[in-house]
A and B are shown apart, each in its own frame.
Chain A
Amino acid sequence: MGIFRRIWALGNRSSLSRENQSELSEHMQMRIDANISRGMSQEEATREARLRFGNPAVFKEKVEAEDAALGLDSLFRDARYAVRGFAKSPGFALVAILTLALGIGANTAVFQLLDAVRLRSLPIAAPSELAEVRIAGGNRGFGVKSGAFAEFTIPMWQEVRRHHDPFSGVFDWRPTHMMVGKRGDAKLVNAIEVSGEFFNVLGVTPLQGRLIEPQDESSCEISKVVVSYSFWKSHLGSQPITPNTTMAAEDRLVQVLGVTPPSFFGLSVGDRFDVAYPTCTPPNPRHEIFIVNVMGRLKPGWTIDRASAYFNALSGGIFQSTAPTGYSADYVKTYTSFRLGVYPAGAGVSTLRDAYDTSLQILLAITGLVLLIACANLANLMLARATTRQREMAIRIALGASRGRLLRQMLIESGLLALTGAALGMAIAQPLSRLLVASLNTSHNSIHSPSHPTGACCSLLPLWPPSPQLSSAPYPLCAAPRPIPSRPLNPARAAWPAAASTSPCSALWWSHRWLSQWCSWSAHCSSFAAIAT
């Protein structure tokens, strides 16, 4: 309850102040009267009374602080004072804020992209268990590779489907296209051809209807499809899915089995599938066309390494039995020497990642460096400003301001700059990120980059860079003219100003360097945050 009364007391501070003032002056008068009656002169009596009360400004604040929540009040005052200070030197404020905003904005933009392309896991159940099987080192140009993620021929896939001890389930899939709509009005959309276990293994649950199941894998004529959420909304008008729901595709009517949840975009990061249809096993699969991608969910207790070893051991048999015929012995020998390996696929597959991963990382490193330089610049700027404000600090100390109070003032100033810079940085991060995506030039872009983890982290980040001011608080203390104490100082205290005048100044350098370190770490903090989420 007390705290509310004290906050409320802030409202009528002036009357509170007047009351305290009259209480104290009456008291002082009583003391003076008593002193005079004891035989002191008027002057002596007044001086003695004043000495008992000490510094009047400090005294007044100390008493008032008991009556009202002054901490809150002065916080607001400090903030207002800081804003006034910035308004007086708009050049400084503008440069500081813009430097921060650009540094943070660029970092956030690049990081968002890197996060979406590389770090984020697929929106499926337990993505860390998902693993991809492919030929270790690639197929070295053997046969025909059809499509972006084509790592397996159909016969190879059939072998793996029969022997998949490390996996609780395996599936194959490939990205493809489909003509949707009536003849003459058809439109090409992104499709995926999947085996019956695809959705079961991924753990994707239907939003409407049901998804593709093993029994759907029968005819090679497309008769059943599952549509994505966005396709369902845009092309099917969000109509409820019933067993009679059909749509026109590939010149006929196909049954729409169900709809996937909105978060599921397929397995290829950077693309978005519209329609999924069940695969079929052609009667005479080609042995030299690499066409599908094979993934599975690891059984509990199996690691990537163990699964790799398992498939490595199996490889000899698999490649012997699936070797294409009608080729030279050398050529077939290359084929039979292939070995399968298992690789983590929790983050999906991506042509974007393959093409831009390194460049994005380099870009992030460069923007991190730019932020670091911006921080160092800002620190210097702050130092310069602190130097010109020594006089102000000295006056405030002489008036009785405590060190903590000065420090708080500095921190509030830095905090204001940092928050403004961060807010602006986050604002420009979105357009910057879009610009980057545009320059990546993919036809069906679906790099979805909600920025909360990065954003949250980046708003914390700049709280640190401008805090070399922290060290500037003791600085004016040593440079300020100190009032000569009337009492004899003990030697240790007398030596303090001299020591202080050198040590904080060197401490300043160290803290400067330390902070530069901090900047770089905090730039990486965003990536940790994303990994954590």
Chain B
Amino acid sequence: MAKNDLQGALDLLILKSLSQLGSMHGYGIVMHIERVSDELLNVEEGSLYPALHRMDQNGWIRAEWAVTEAGRKAKYYALTAAGKKQLAAREKNWEQVVKGVQAILRFA
């Protein structure tokens, strides 16, 4: 099922973060993932933005310009209905992958 595991994981992280945050800009997503994962996961901007724009093209998220609390202009991303469906599918898939990997690791 997992065609491209790494990319699948990144998409999943972004989609999940957006569903938790509601609407957020790129920097916010990076910080969110870092903070929640206790700095175990580090998403680099070099891969974050292509992924964000790709998802935007796919219609999973939509973007809107808004002003941050600090008074900066930023592009805010939010999940669409298609994005929510995608997230559910990805989550289920990820659980399968984890289960599968666990089974391999525990095999004696």
Measured between alpha carbons, how far is A333 from B58 in the docked complex, in Å? 92
B39 sits at the interface (CB 8 A)? no
Question: Which B residues are in CB contact (< 8 Å) with A391?
Answer: none
Measured between alpha carbons, how far is A480 from B72 in the docked complex, in Å? 43
B60 shortest CB reach to chain A, Å: 12
A-B pairs with beta carbons under 8 Å apart, 8 shown: A5-B57, A27-B27, A31-B27, A33-B70, A52-B44, A62-B50, A63-B50, A66-B56
Measured between alpha carbons, how far is A62 from B45 in the docked complex, in Å? 12
Are A26 and B50 within 8 A (Cβ)? no
Are B54 and A52 within 8 A (Cβ)? no
Number of interface residues of B (CB under 8 A): 21
The answer to whether residues A53 and B46 also contact, given A23-B75, A27-B74 and a CB cut-off of 8 A, is yes
Nearest A residue (CB) for B31: A34
Question: Which A residues are in CB contact (< 8 Å) with B50?
Answer: 62-63, 65-66
Are A59 and B72 within 8 A (Cβ)? no
A313 sits at the interface (CB 8 A)? no
The answer to whether residues A67 and B44 also contact, given A23-B74, A27-B27 and a CB cut-off of 8 A, is no
Which secondary structure characterizes the binding site on chain B?
A: helix
B73 sits at the interface (CB 8 A)? yes
Question: Which B residues are in CB contact (< 8 Å) with A19?
Answer: 75
Are A66 and B74 within 8 A (Cβ)? no
B25 sits at the interface (CB 8 A)? yes
Are A22 and B25 within 8 A (Cβ)? no
Interface residues of B in 53-81 (CB under 8 A from A): 53-54, 56-59, 68, 70, 72-75
Measured between alpha carbons, how far is A11 from B83 in the docked complex, in Å? 27
Question: Which A residues are in CB contact (< 8 Å) with B73?
Answer: 22, 26
A402 sits at the interface (CB 8 A)? no
- What residues make up the interface of A, taking CB atoms closer than 8 Å to B? 2, 5-6, 19-20, 22-24, 26-27, 29-31, 33-34, 52-54, 59, 62-63, 65-67
Measured between alpha carbons, how far is A29 from B59 in the docked complex, in Å? 28
Proximity bits, B24-62, A CB within 8 Å = 1, else 0: 011100010000000000001110011001101111000
Measured between alpha carbons, how far is A2 from B72 in the docked complex, in Å? 31
Nearest B residue (CB) for A3: B57
Measured between alpha carbons, how far is A461 from B25 in the docked complex, in Å? 53
Measured between alpha carbons, how far is A67 from B58 in the docked complex, in Å? 10
Question: Which B residues are in CB contact (< 8 Å) with A65?
Answer: 50
Nearest B residue (CB) for A53: B45
Measured between alpha carbons, how far is A19 from B25 in the docked complex, in Å? 14
18 extra interface residue pairs, beta carbon distance < 8 Å, beyond A26-B72, A52-B45, A54-B46 = A2-B58, A2-B59, A5-B57, A6-B57, A23-B49, A23-B74, A27-B27, A27-B74, A30-B72, A30-B74, A33-B70, A34-B31, A52-B44, A53-B45, A54-B44, A66-B50, A66-B53, A66-B57
Nearest A residue (CB) for B26: A27
Are A24 and B49 within 8 A (Cβ)? yes
Measured between alpha carbons, how far is A31 from B25 in the docked complex, in Å? 12
Are A66 and B54 within 8 A (Cβ)? yes
A56 shortest CB reach to chain B, Å: 10
Measured between alpha carbons, how far is A63 from B45 in the docked complex, in Å? 11
Nearest B residue (CB) for A66: B53
Question: Which B residues are in CB contact (< 8 Å) with A52?
Answer: 44-46
Interface centre among B57, B58, B73 (most CB of A within 10 A): B57
Nearest A residue (CB) for B28: A30
Contact of B53 among A5, A27, A31, A63 (CB under 8 A): A63
Question: Which B residues are in CB contact (< 8 Å) with A62?
Answer: 46, 49-50
Question: Which B residues are in CB contact (< 8 Å) with A63?
Answer: 49-50, 53
Contact of B26 among A6, A23, A33, A59 (CB under 8 A): A23
Question: Which B residues are in CB contact (< 8 Å) with A5?
Answer: 57
Nearest A residue (CB) for B48: A27
Are B58 and A27 within 8 A (Cβ)? no
Question: Which B residues are in CB contact (< 8 Å) with A66?
Answer: 50, 53-54, 56-57
Contact of B57 among A2, A24, A26 (CB under 8 A): A2
Are B57 and A27 within 8 A (Cβ)? no
B26 shortest CB reach to chain A, Å: 5
Measured between alpha carbons, how far is A20 from B50 in the docked complex, in Å? 11
Question: Which A residues are in CB contact (< 8 Å) with B59?
Answer: 2
Question: Which B residues are in CB contact (< 8 Å) with A31?
Answer: 27
Are B54 and A27 within 8 A (Cβ)? no
Are A67 and B49 within 8 A (Cβ)? no
Q: Report the 4 A-B pairs with minimum CB-CB distance, sorted nearest first.
A: A66-B53, A30-B27, A54-B46, A66-B54
Nearest B residue (CB) for A54: B46
B61 shortest CB reach to chain A, Å: 12
Question: Which A residues are in CB contact (< 8 Å) with B49?
Answer: 23-24, 59, 62-63
Question: Which A residues are in CB contact (< 8 Å) with B25?
Answer: 26-27
Question: Which A residues are in CB contact (< 8 Å) with B57?
Answer: 2, 5-6, 66-67
